[in-house]
Amino acid sequence: MDHDWQVRMSDLNETFQAILREHDDDGIGKSARLYDRIDRAFNLFSCGEDFAAGQMSKSLNKAKDELIKDNEEEFRGALDDLYGWQGAAAGQFRDYLNQLDDGVTLMVDRMDTLLLILRSHEVLVSGMREDVLDLVRKTLDGIAAAETDGWKVGVTVAGAVAGVVAGVAGVAGPPGVMIGMIAAEMVAGAAGVVVEANGAEDELGVMVNFVDSAEGLLHLIDIERLRIEKGFRALAESITEARLTEVRPDRPVIVTAPDFQPASFGMEEDVQAGHPVPTNTTDLLPEPKKRADGPFDRTTTPDGEEHDRYAEQGPA
């Protein structure tokens, strides 16, 4: 969490608790649990980290650019190296190269989708903070005047995610591209409604309005947060388990004939002919060792069993 913002929310929590105590002569605050509700609201308002999401987006954009650049250079180079190679093995290897190229296209799509989700998170956090400060200002103005005509809050948060993904929601792309579909899932469902508070005729009434409005704002935030979580879940499903091979094709087993001479790698059909069928099917390029699980890869199920979140990476 953002430390400065967290400290600011803690200070405002103490300020609003003190204001309530000053004007709560009849003990309504305690009976209505206003103190606990103020504490809960500011604790939840202190959550969220927009700077970290921005840094993640920058790193992801850099990785995406490097992936595209490497693919363009390596894929073109590999095709040049295969020039003149004919036969079933050549066809199989070209198919594998095309699968890799398609996989990169889909991985770039998944990266773009993740960037969209991270941007939605950034906008939600910054919008929440803007609306929280707006509510605080309106409440303090009402306390100073000992009354209020009412207010509206949540204008920035309501529809925050839709404002980010609207441009791509439902847009169809090449086969396997998911960004338009996932964006459409993120904006599906009823939109949040701006919170309205009625007028109040004294300081205590203003504080009651603040508590009700704060909880209404938290509900709006939850609506948008669930849209982002829905996007994360859909994205995870598109790159794990059976879908993993779409973005990371299985490696082929590479074997060769016993008398194969790399220096005479056939560019002419008659040079390639005559090799006996390979009898040793041991992979010439063994599968690289899988990386050990990271600290977030493993979790425990409700029944106490250990669970590997990303089993495709292999065990620790």
pLDDT mean over 93-117: 91
Rounded to two decimals, the pTM is 0.81
CA distance 138 to 309: 45
pLDDT of residue 64: 94
Least confident residue range of 76-85, 87-96, 241-250, 265-274: 265-274
Contact call for residues 209 and 200 (beta carbons, < 8 A)? yes
Which residue would you say has higher pLDDT here, 2 or 6? 6
pLDDT in tens, 288-301: 776 666 666 677 77
pLDDT greater than 90 at residue 231: yes
Contact call for residues 218 and 44 (beta carbons, < 8 A)? yes
pLDDT of residue 316: 43
pLDDT in tens, 197-223: 999 999 999 999 999 999 999 999 999
Contact call for residues 153 and 221 (beta carbons, < 8 A)? no
pLDDT greater than 70 at residue 20: yes
pLDDT in tens, 128-165: 999 999 999 999 999 999 999 999 999 999 999 999 99
pLDDT of residue 299: 75
Percentage of residues of the chain with pLDDT beyond 90? 51
Q: C-alpha dihedral over 219, 224, 226, 231, to 10 degrees?
A: 180
Question: Residue for token digits 């250990």?
Answer: 306
pLDDT greater than 50 at residue 246: yes
Q: What is the per-residue burial (b if ≥16 Cβ within 10 Å, else e) of 172-185?
A: eeeeebbbbbbbeb
pLDDT greater than 70 at residue 277: no
Question: Residue for token digits 């699968």?
Answer: 99
Token pair belonging to 296? 């977030």
